[in-house]
Each structure stands twice: as C-alpha cells, then as structure tokens.
C-alpha cells in the first residue's frame, strides 16, 4: 500500500480537511458513461456532468467509479467529457495534471511518482504540457500521444473540456473518430505553443495486456521490465502506413 495514491473520493476528503497535510498525491477513478441511450456521447448541454449511478441504476459499492452523464462510448466524446470533469476538479482541489490510462495498460506507480517529482513542473508552471508515447498523423499533420496512456496539464484539459465546445471538437475530429488522434487535434488547436513530453523511450507502463491472467502476471512478476525503452518516434510504422494507405 502507498498512501500517495488513493480513490478520488479520498483525495477530495483529504483536500477539504486540510490541503497542506494531504498525503495523497495521485487520485484515481474508473470512468464510464452513465447516461442512457438518449444522452449525447460528448457533454454538450446544461445537464449535470456526472451521475450517481450507471444507466441501469447500479452504483459501485467500492466508490471506485465515476459515471459521466453521457452515453457510453470510446471514440465519440467520452475522453473530452472526462477532461471537462477533471479540469473542474483540478480548479477546486489543486490537481496539476489529468491522465488517462486504458484498462489493458499496467502503470508503474514507482516510476509515475519519479516522473512527477523529477521531470514535471507543478501548477501554475506547467502550462500546455501534453505527454505520452508519440504517434504521427498523416491526415492531421501532427504528433499525438498514444491512447494507452497520456496526460495533460490542468490548463490544457480545461481548454479541451471547457473552452472548446462539443461542436468545435466534432469539427476537429477525423471522419472515422480515432480517440487518441482526435485528442491530439484538440490539443494542437490551442493557439499557443504545446510542450510535448515524449514517453516513448521511458515508458512507465505496459500495453496491451488483454486478459486478466496476462494483466496479473505482469503486475505480480514482470514490473521490473519497466521502464520500456522504445523508439523515440515510430517512423517505420508511419512510413509503411503512408505507402499502403492505412495511416491516419
């Protein structure tokens, strides 16, 4: 157990009690769309941003989950709605970065804390930071962070979730809606310079681990393999995709 990481509810409790003595540094929550089929996939109205239950009325008894008031989806607005939620929390509870981790990724907490302590400035000195393993987009002509793990500074999350409207974000997406590529488009629509933190050669997570057995085995016996040392830029896959027409 490490009291530097905790459930979101516990992070909020400690902050409200006394932010100067807060032990928890990283709050986690499992995010899902809790709205019914009639709700939009990207929060675009004045309805509450979250719900107490999922659309069937179920609430996680462990308090690990956040139910966004949108229709569940992967590519159509869940991530920016989550950033809107995270940016609002950041403003109220002093959070410097908002991260997203896929459920088939295992993250090294030891390396995460090392990264936070040694390589990342705190707010308000962390403006427009975007971090992850880079991918290249032929269609959008930019670099974006691979969706298995990325994070943004609180101001950039606020820009994407609150300054951009759902209509703005829809115009920026590619027609097939690819979550991580589209997130890069949202980021790069900012009028000021973006500070990209390249995690390709210092991967503090393992991805993909598609089965519970593979996930548990890596967590219990193979965490020593991290950090991963990949190529700093995936030029080969990009060039191959351009040649065969599959690259986005």
What is the pLDDT tens value at each position of the chain, 248 positions in all?
899 999 999 999 999 999 999 999 999 999 999 999 999 999 999 999 999 999 999 999 999 999 999 999 999 999 999 999 999 999 999 999 999 999 999 999 999 999 999 999 999 999 999 999 999 998 899 999 999 999 999 999 999 999 999 999 999 999 999 999 999 999 999 999 999 999 998 999 999 999 999 999 999 999 999 999 887 777 666 666 666 666 66
Residue 111's φ and ψ, nearest 5 degrees, are: -75, -30
Residue 191 per-residue DSSP state: S
Tell me which residue of 157, 148, 152 sits closest to 203, measured CA to CA: 148
Tokens of 221: 């016996």
Tokens of 75: 């590519």
User: Which residues contact residue 163 at a Cβ distance below 8 angstroms, ignoring those fewer than 6 apart?
Assistant: none
User: Which residues contact residue 213 at a Cβ distance below 8 angstroms, ignoring those fewer than 6 apart?
Assistant: none
- Rounded Cα distance, 217 and 190, in Å: 41
Do residues 165 and 81 lie in contact, with contact meaning Cβ atoms separated by under 8 Å? no
* C-alpha distances in Å from residue 204, one per residue of 109, 111, 224: 8, 6, 11
The greatest distance separating any two alpha carbons of the chain, rounded to the nearest whole angstrom, comes to: 58
Cα angle 130-135-136, degrees, rounded to a multiple of 5: 110
Do residues 143 and 169 lie in contact, with contact meaning Cβ atoms separated by under 8 Å? no
- Rounded Cα distance, 92 and 84, in Å: 13
Residue 237's H or E segment, with its range, is helix 235-244
């Amino acid at each position: 157990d490490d009291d530097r990481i905790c459930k979101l509810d516990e992070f909020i409790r400690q902050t409200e009690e006394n932010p100067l003595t807060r032990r928890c540094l990283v709050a986690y929550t499992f995010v899902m769309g809790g709205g019914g089929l009639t709700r939009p996939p990207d929060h675009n109205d004045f309805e509450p941003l979250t719900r107490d239950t999922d659309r069937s009325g179920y609430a996680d008894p462990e308090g690990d989950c956040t139910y966004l008031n949108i229709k569940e989806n992967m590519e159509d607005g869940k991530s920016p709605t989550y950033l809107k939620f995270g940016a609002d929390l950041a403003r109220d509870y002093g959070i410097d970065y908002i991260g997203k981790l896929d459920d088939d990724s295992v993250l090294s907490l030891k390396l995460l804390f090392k990264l936070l302590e040694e390589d990342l400035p705190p707010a308000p000195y962390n403006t427009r930071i975007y971090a992850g393993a880079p991918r290249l987009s032929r269609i959008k002509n930019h670099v974006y962070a691979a969706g298995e793990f990325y994070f943004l500074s609180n101001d950039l999350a606020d820009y994407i979730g609150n300054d951009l409207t759902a209509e703005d974000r829809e115009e920026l997406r590619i027609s097939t809606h690819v979550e991580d590529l589209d997130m890069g488009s949202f980021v790069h629509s900012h009028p000021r310079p973006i500070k990209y933190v390249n995690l390709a050669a210092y991967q503090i997570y393992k991805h993909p681990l598609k089965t519970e057995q593979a996930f548990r085995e890596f967590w219990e016996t193979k965490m020593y393999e991290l950090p991963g040392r990949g190529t700093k830029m995936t030029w080969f896959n990009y060039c191959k995709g351009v040649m065969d027409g599959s690259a986005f």
